[in-house]
Amino acid sequence: MLIIVAPGQGAQTPGFLRPWLEDPQFAERLNWLGAVAGLDLAHYGTDADAETIRDTAIAQPLLVASGLVAALSLFPHPSDAFGRIGAVAGHSVGELTAAAGARAISAEQAMVLVRERGNAMAHAAAATPTGMTAVLGGDEAAVMAALTQHGLTAANVNAAGQVVAAGTLEQLAALAADPPAKARLMPLSVAGAFHTEHMQPAVGALARLAPAVSTHDPRAVVISNADGQAIHDGREAVRRIVQQVARPVRWDLCMGTMRDLGVTGVLEMPPAGTLTGIVKRALPGVETFALKTPDQLDAARDFVDKHGAPSPIDIHPTWRMLVAPTKGTFVRSAGEEGERLRPASSVGLVRSTRDETAVMAPYGGTIVEWLVEDGDLVSPGQPLVRVHPEGVAV
């Protein structure tokens, strides 16, 4: 199985788009998305210095546009991609890249959202001096205890031994003066304490925009930063992206879902390297490809051919699929084929050793076919039931 991933803020480096912009078609597409965002992305991806592209309001649109346009270079016929991609995931703002790449939202909608996200987060960061520090190594319990002691949030839990602490500069200074045993601290060059309560004003700004976004069921599983759940509902994907601005990024749980899905290859969109580096350490045996420059495109296509397989949840013109959000035992609550489901009703739940997660039919409709039985073990993203929607375009 092939999974495509998109990096988050901090992955950008000065001039990373220079080789890509030698392709006139890439340049035209980037200029279009830049016009939607109101930014000269070609300038920021080539001539701007590190301090300039560190600005949240610039970095976030630059990352999302770069990933989306590079994906069009990798898959010149986008519809072909969904015969090969099993799932997508993005780290932080990369979730917008992933959602648009999976066709849950359009590229233009992603650029409007990321423009407003970047501006709102920059404004929230300016209210209070805050920051982030990577905590590398150390005992996990001791690290979390130290963060709690100093009032900090584990804003990113990327993998075992790789946590990002976020909070006020005073709180981070206190952590630096009393670090957890055997842990190494590395202050990050970011503008604020992202994915913490300090970003709550930005959530409100995005929440006011979200109802106007036109969504579709994604054509590949979208793995959510919130808890690693497999999402196959466009409205839910957008809702989670909005809320995630002020919630920790659980990339460790995303990789757990990748493992459960049976991933064999992970390809990272530019500016690539950060996420594939984490995957190499956390998922031994899984091959990775960091797409950094256009001269790698042929090799990247070979990688796609090697690991790609048709998505089991690609769209169909007459029915909508409901899938398992996580692994566990499926407990069915809805009736037989032909029964009508009310909007926002439950068809059952997935029970694991940790918790129970409801499986909802957000649009309602008629049950066409059950694909699992009550009591079956299911994997994240596994199709459970086909539903014929009522009064909803698919």
Catalytic residues: 92, 195
Burial of 342 (0-12, 13-18, 19+ CB in 10 A): exposed
CA–CA distance, 166 with 317 (Å, rounded to integer): 45
CA–CA distance, 148 with 6 (Å, rounded to integer): 30
CA–CA distance, 357 with 349 (Å, rounded to integer): 5
Q: Compute how many other C-beta atoms are within 10 angstroms of the C-beta atom of residue 228.
A: 21
CA–CA distance, 184 with 137 (Å, rounded to integer): 6
| 235 three-class SS | helix
CA–CA distance, 295 with 80 (Å, rounded to integer): 21
Question: Three-state secondary structure along 136-150?
Answer: EECCHHHHHHHHHHC
Q: Which of 120-133 are b and which e, b meaning 16 or more Cβ less than 10 Å from the residue's Cβ?
A: bbbebbeeeebbbb
Non-local CB neighbours of 324 within 8 Å, separated by 6+ positions:
230, 330, 350, 359, 378, 379, 380, 381, 382, 384
CA–CA distance, 131 with 104 (Å, rounded to integer): 32
Residues pairing with 27 in the sheet: none
Please state, in angstroms and as integers, the Cα–Cα distance from residue 354 to each residue in 131, 328, 357, following that order: 32, 10, 10
Q: Which of 167-206 are b and which e, b meaning 16 or more Cβ less than 10 Å from the residue's Cβ?
A: bbeebbebbeeebbeebebeebebbbbbbbebbeebbebb
Cβ(75)–Cβ(224) under 8 Å? no
DSSP E strand boundaries for 21-102: 85-90
